Amino acid sequence: MTQEQKCWKLIEDAMWDFDHDYNRISTNWSELNKSTFNMLETFIEEKAAALFEKYEAAWLGQDGGPGIDVSDDSWSDLIYDVVGRGERFYNAITVEKLREMADEDDYQESFHYCLQIED
């Protein structure tokens, strides 16, 4: 199993879509060894950064479209939610789906909080 597959599996096993409980997930992830946790943290942040970069112009309405109607903070929540929904959802995301998620408040605050664990 590759590192990417391991990370996607950890994300899937977190069941973010089940209850969006970042405290539960953070507690579970705090039990990972430091190396695995660091790998997962880097992976999640890189996937979110890739979404930010790919869709920033659409969010800001600089791609000829109407923009994605969320604040800076909500934009972060939105893109981290996409990562939290897993590999299949992440790979299938489009500007239209991001806009729909924003318009329908179909995202949760914030999958990124799952990474806040105490040493």
DSSP assignments along 15-62, one per residue: THHHH--HHHHHHHHTTS-HHHHHHHHHHHHHHHHHHHHHHHHHHTTT
**pLDDT at residue 68, as a whole number:** 96
pLDDT over 80 (residue 118)? no
- The 10s digit of each residue's pLDDT in 81-102 is 999 999 999 999 999 999 999 9
Residue showing tokens 């695995």? 36
pLDDT over 90 (residue 119)? no
Structure tokens at 64: 């000829």
- The 10s digit of each residue's pLDDT in 18-47 is 899 999 999 999 999 999 999 999 999 999
Q: Tell me the residue ranges of DSSP E strands in the chain.
A: none
Residue 38 dihedral angles phi and psi, to the nearest 5°: -60, -40
Q: Does residue 86 come out as left (phi exceeding 0), alpha (psi in the -120 to 50 range) or beta? A: left
Q: What share of the chain is helix, strand, coil (3-state, %, to 5)?
A: 70, 0, 30
- The 10s digit of each residue's pLDDT in 40-63 is 999 999 999 999 999 999 999 998
